[in-house]
Amino acid sequence: MRETILHRLNLVYSLALALFLGLNPAWVLRVSAQEFLPDTSLEPAFRTYLKIRSVSGNEKPAGHFLQSLAASRGLNTNCLLCTDSTINIAISLYPLEEKKPSIILLSHLDVVDAPDTADWRSPPFEAIQSDSDIVARGAVDAKGLTFMHLGALLAFREKHKNDSLPFNVVVLAVCDEETGGEKGAKLIAERKLDLLQPWMVIGEGGSGITGLIPSRPSTPVFGISVSEKVNLWLRLDLKFSSFGHGAAPPDSYVNKDMLKALHKLSQIEGRPEFNSITRRMFKELGRMEGGLKGWFISHLPSRIFRPFVKRRMRREPVLSSMLQNTAVMTNIFNPPGPPNKISNKATVFLDCRLLPETRIRRFIREIRYGLIEPRFKVSIINEGPRAEASNPELAEYKCLSNAILGVYPQAEAAPFLFPASSDNNYFRQFGIPTYGITPVVMSRTDLESIHGTDERIKLPDLRRGEDIFYRFLRNAESLTPKLYFTPVGNR
């Protein structure tokens, strides 16, 4: 009921906006507000899916559930590179064997774990609804996203049940995203592009954030990611023997030296660095604001505003992570031993997220320099793929941004640098247009709940997300399908 009213309001809003702007309302309403009818019968399945504890490494039950759900709806399904420990599910409009250029809607089966503690409003794997939110690990990241994709695909199939389109739509849910994607997206991108024939990939990315336009703080700005930071996991080992007893502390021993080094590391202050994407982002934000303040925002990347930007970065962690390399000490440990014996080995894991243009060897050299202690061994545990930014001038990008503005006519959308890393770069590295969007308007606490406590989604937000992907597919129909990257089998 509520949804119907919302849709009506949306329709009135877009008509008024179109008339006000002097646009042809027929264009704005090419996909009319009533055209997308959410498939509410997916909701019980969504809850069941949320209850499956698909922590990375244990995605099989979630994958099989999704596959049989899609098959029961008459969609084509494939289990790609499925072994005892891996599973990747492709759900498609047409059989993959037809090898039509595909729009890939990418998400993942795995979630980060959440302990069943009292910190959560309700247990993280029970998917209980409270205050109109469904609270569950994965509600947004990425099970909610998968269901948005699936809902859109079902509605799109309904629209075209008698047609043979020149392109395929593939909902691809992979394993292992949360632990780097080595067993999921990486393998798929290495071995299955021949089968998938990707035209473009729409994966995880920015959400709608309010408070970014000073004069219109309630206007959400959707960040469509066209580029993202590169994942680098480092292991630091310090190992040497000292007189090993707690009663006679030596001047130097591993834990003491490790702490000194880490303290030093934590004090290295990042310098803001702007690239073409972040420059453009500030330009767009300036345009949205307008006036003198808008001019100021669009010129923030100028060198003269550096001191201001630095001050802002200290207060705004998201801004800060978008403009500099970060390194978080995620784990510190010694081998087990009694409390009175000084350990001769200490290990620290660093989760580093680097701006796309950072030279990794140089970054590691800087870390080593920051450690002072020459006995440190620095090794790379995992290094994510690097990719050139996808072009936000392509019509494919416009299809997505128009779809968002069709559902949220009062919002704004702009290309941005995703301040984390996802599976997107595995596809983007081949020059396949890859855009990231998680189309939900989120407050700061909503954002913190992803990978944190009380991750949640509202059912109307889920439906609006489906509507956005549905409109995106409808917009894409007007384009000529194209392969920007030629898979080996086609050469």
Q: Tell me whether residue 143 or residue 463 sits nearer to Zn ion (CB atom).
A: 143
Tokens representing 387 are 């990719």
**Interaction mask 150-179, Zn ion, x per CB under 5 A:** ------------------------------
Q: Tell me whether residue 141 or residue 446 sits nearer to Zn ion (CB atom).
A: 141
User: How many Cβ atoms sit within 10 Å of the Cβ of residue 261?
Assistant: 20
Nearest-approach distance from CB 145 to Zn ion, in angstroms:
8
Nearest-approach distance from CB 465 to Zn ion, in angstroms:
14
Stretch that binds Zn ion, among 203-211, 378-386, 433-441, 472-480 (CB under 5 A): 203-211
Task: Give residues with Cβ within 8 angstroms of 135, minimum separation 6.
Answer: 120, 121, 122, 124, 127, 128, 129, 454, 455, 456
Q: Is 467 in the site for Zn ion (CB under 5 A)?
A: no
Nearest-approach distance from CB 451 to Zn ion, in angstroms:
9
For residues 203 and 304, what is the distance between their CA atoms, to the nearest angstrom?
36
Identify the CA nearest to 457 among candidates 208, 119, 3, 135: 135
Q: Tell me whether residue 141 or residue 454 sits nearer to Zn ion (CB atom).
A: 141
Q: Is 468 in the site for Zn ion (CB under 5 A)?
A: no
The set of long-range contacts for 19-28, using a CB threshold of 8 Å and a minimum separation of 24, is 28/406
For residues 248 and 401, what is the distance between their CA atoms, to the nearest angstrom?
66
Stretch that binds Zn ion, among 86-94, 198-206, 209-217, 282-290 (CB under 5 A): 198-206
Identify the CA nearest to 305 among candidates 265, 272, 342: 272
Tokens representing 300 are 């923030």
Region label for 290, one of left (φ > 0), alpha (ψ between -120 and 50) or beta (otherwise): left
Nearest-approach distance from CB 141 to Zn ion, in angstroms:
4
Identify the CA nearest to 352 among candidates 442, 235, 271, 441: 235
Nearest-approach distance from CB 267 to Zn ion, in angstroms:
31
Strand partners for 230? 354
Q: Tell me whether residue 42 or residue 142 sits nearer to Zn ion (CB atom).
A: 142
Q: Tell me whether residue 10 or residue 449 sits nearer to Zn ion (CB atom).
A: 449
Distance (Å) of CA 61 to CA 66, 69, 125 = 9, 12, 14
Strand partners for 78? 90
Q: Tell me whether residue 176 or residue 396 sits nearer to Zn ion (CB atom).
A: 176
Nearest-approach distance from CB 112 to Zn ion, in angstroms:
9
Q: Tell me whether residue 204 or residue 257 sits nearer to Zn ion (CB atom).
A: 204
Parallel, antiparallel, or unpaired for β 198-209 and 434-442?
parallel
Q: DSSP of 190-238, one letter per residue? A: HHSHHHH-EEEEEEEEEEEESS-STT-TTS-EEEEEEEEPEEEEEEEEE
Stretch that binds Zn ion, among 58-66, 136-144, 193-201, 369-377 (CB under 5 A): 136-144
Distance (Å) of CA 254 to CA 77, 258, 317, 347 = 54, 6, 32, 10
Tokens representing 45 are 């399945």
Q: Is 142 in the site for Zn ion (CB under 5 A)?
A: yes
Stretch that binds Zn ion, among 134-142, 348-356, 435-443, 451-459 (CB under 5 A): 134-142
Number of residues that bind Zn ion (CB under 5 A): 3
Q: Tell me whether residue 165 or residue 447 sits nearer to Zn ion (CB atom).
A: 447
Stretch that binds Zn ion, among 5-13, 67-75, 179-187, 200-208 (CB under 5 A): 200-208
Nearest-approach distance from CB 357 to Zn ion, in angstroms:
24
Nearest-approach distance from CB 281 to Zn ion, in angstroms:
22
Range list of β-strands (E), 339-490: 345-354, 377-383, 412-418, 434-442, 456-458
Stretch that binds Zn ion, among 53-61, 88-96, 135-143, 238-246 (CB under 5 A): 135-143
Tokens 């784990």 locate to 331
Nearest-approach distance from CB 204 to Zn ion, in angstroms:
5
Q: Tell me whether residue 142 or residue 462 sits nearer to Zn ion (CB atom).
A: 142
Nearest-approach distance from CB 383 to Zn ion, in angstroms:
19
Stretch that binds Zn ion, among 196-204, 400-408, 424-432, 474-482 (CB under 5 A): 196-204
Q: Tell me whether residue 90 or residue 140 sits nearer to Zn ion (CB atom).
A: 140
Instruction: Find the binder of Zn ion among 59, 110, 133, 141 (CB under 5 A).
Output: 141
Stretch that binds Zn ion, among 201-209, 302-310, 348-356, 474-482 (CB under 5 A): 201-209
Tokens representing 312 are 């802002």
Q: Tell me whether residue 262 or residue 450 sits nearer to Zn ion (CB atom).
A: 450
Q: Tell me whether residue 406 or residue 436 sits nearer to Zn ion (CB atom).
A: 436
Burial 331-357 (b: 16+ CB within 10 A, else e): eeeeeeeeeeebbbbbbbebbbbbbbe
Alpha helix stretches (DSSP H) within 290-326: 291-298, 306-315, 317-323
* Residues in contact with Zn ion by the rule CB under 5 A: 141-142, 204
